[in-house]
Chain A
Amino acid sequence: MLASAAEGCSPKEFLREVYKDMSIDYVKFHKMDLLCKIGVVLSDALIRELSLDQKEALEEMAVVLNNSTSSLHSDVKHQASVEEGQSSPAIFVYTLPNIVVGEICIKHKIYGENLFLVSDAPATELLSDYAASLFATGKAKQCMVGWVDALDDKWSASLAIIQEGSTENSINSLEGIFSEAQGVLNN
């Protein structure tokens, strides 16, 4: 299962429309920064597609995400507010890249392992190996992995949920996912 979103679309309005279309109904969504909104929308799309058994096991799912700009999108806004002499707590909250993982976990009550990696390009092999290692050591039976990157109006994101023992658990699949920077959101 995979979901990826188109790069270069105007973010706020696009995501607002997707939020409505998907009937996400989560008040906190509108307070999130761009990175988190993208992560929540894509992860929602994936989680909805899970089987009942998989949904019931959601709280043990691992989440390992990756990007190149960290939280720069919100960092710049926070820096601007520091310069103006009035820092906004609501902006500062989002000046860490792993908050997108946190927001996904909060929304879906996921208590499993979670990690965020920063690298110039998608760390495809590492994410695949990491998921495999979690499965092999019994730490998780499903693992959400992916790339979520956003800066100003440019963004690219691709997420997947890998199941233990699934044929999708392979480098080739993940490479295919990450190369789809110009994909469309799958419902």
Chain B
Amino acid sequence: MENLKQELKNFIVTHLNLEEMTAADIQDDDPLFGDGLGLDSIDALELIVMLEKEYNIKVRDPEKGKAIFQSVNSLAEFVQAQAE
């Protein structure tokens, strides 16, 4: 799970062009949206693209994305659950 979280943090930084940030700057339970990392709705869509490209997971409903992308923790749990 820790490896997965690290990998996800790296993907978040690269896929979303977070230039002023590194994976190390993202805490597992930091809110990704709103005041946390300040991501917006387009970033959420890019994370959906990332899930498909990197993990072959399709999220069809952007509304479901809100719960999945709350934090690295919730994202990792989701990815893990899809793999099982």
- Listed in ascending order, the chain A residues whose CB lies under 8 Å from chain B are 16, 27-28, 30-31, 86, 88-90, 93
Contact = CB atoms under 8 A, between A and B. Distances in A.
Contacts of B38: 27-28
A31 B40 CA distance: 11
B17 to A, nearest CB: 5
B81 interface: no
B53 interface: yes
Nearest to A32: B17
B20 A88 contact: no
Given A89-B45, A89-B49, A93-B42, 17 more contacts: A16-B19, A27-B20, A30-B17, A30-B18, A30-B19, A30-B20, A31-B17, A31-B42, A31-B43, A86-B49, A86-B52, A86-B53, A88-B46, A88-B49, A90-B17, A90-B42, A90-B43
A89 B42 contact: yes
Contacts, number: 30
Contacts of B52: 86
B57 interface: no
A86 B53 CA distance: 9
A93 B43 CA distance: 11
Interface string B1-23: 00000000000000011111000
Nearest to B53: A86
Interface in B35-84: 38, 40, 42-43, 45-46, 49, 52-53
